[in-house]
Structure 1
């Protein structure tokens, strides 16, 4: 998912093209997906990010165009275009690794009918400890959890996969998040 404006981040570049560790975030996410067991990588773009659309096309990615009416509407359009099951990941998770993706896929396919959707989350307390923003959270079993931006959309049953991995706790939404993402570079 790489169609957001990135207005909270500020700066000149569209959010997916903001560089972390020297590379645009969208390239880092696409590389992690390509190195995972995922068979096809699609870049979901919107009119809000025309340079991103050009960039991913130049890199040979399959492109799904949406109306840019928000994350949920764009995700719905993307699901209609590519079907299910599908791994979804936001372009603002620059430290996504192939093992993160494969673990989410394993969780989704552990059920006999492969009909489980997975939301990968971190404790909100981890994000706060790292000094990164917590824009969305929910409570489960008395703990505040924050989605990482990595999901498997497969069926009607949902499960949460909890991770304590700092790399997935950093979504780049604000300048302070970008600073923390840069600090995690190898």
Structure 2
């Protein structure tokens, strides 16, 4: 998902093109997906991110490069639902990823895929404890509670066939970003760092500079629960 304006970042650069350690975030995420077991990648752009679309078209001659889905720009969930309707996944679950996860790599993506396969059902919402995000020094907006613990959606989820069919049947896009099914709670720094503010960008660059991009020594929290 790379159609956002990025107004909270405080400059004219479209959010997916915001450079972290010299590289646009969208390139970092696309490369992470290419390193993973994902079969195909689709970049969902919008009228709010025309320069991002042009950037992705420029790299289309390189490998890897995603196909582009031109969503209408009606908000994250609505554009995601539009993209899911437009993409032929052959009945397989879809992995949805926001373009503001610059520490993401192929191994972290594969860990989410494995967590989805291990969970009941074929949909998975990935969350990070709010305390972990604050420990790392990144923003912790849009918190919710799971089993009495304050958590933040991570921006990477798996949407199964059942959720997509339910959305098509009732016209409700509320579950389009992975809100149904099981929840996977992780401390993994590669998933915990979303860049929404200039301070988040500085933290991401600091972590990349010091190569603090591996899971904690005791592993990520492997907690599943049904919503």
TM-score, normalised to structure 1, is: 0.94
Partner of 2:207: 184
Write the mapping of 1:50-61 to structure 2, written as runs, cut at 5 A: 50-60=50-60, 61=66
Partner of 1:130: 136
Partner of 1:26: 26
Superposition deviation, residue 111 in structure 1: 5.6
**Alignment counterpart, residue 97 of structure 1, candidates 92, 105, 110:** 105
Once residues 132 and 104 of structure 1 are traced to their aligned partners in structure 2, the CA distance between those partners, rounded to angstroms, is: 21
**Alignment counterpart, residue 93 of structure 2, candidates 61, 85, 88:** 85
How many pairs are equivalent?
A: 184
1:8-38 CA distance string (max 9 Å, x none): 0111211100111211000000000000000
* Residues 167, 184 of structure 1: 8 Å contact kept: no
Cα gap change, 1:129 to 1:111, in 2 (>3 Å): closer
**Alignment counterpart, residue 139 of structure 1, candidates 129, 145, 159:** 145
* Residues 125, 156 of structure 2: 8 Å contact kept: yes
More strand per residue:
1
1:54-105 CA distance string (max 9 Å, x none): 1112222200011101001011001101145111100000001111211211
Structure 1 or 2, whichever has the larger Rg, is 2
TM-score, normalised to structure 2, is: 0.77
Alignment RMSD (CA, Å): 1.4
Partner of 1:74: 79
Unaligned 5+ segments in structure 1 are none
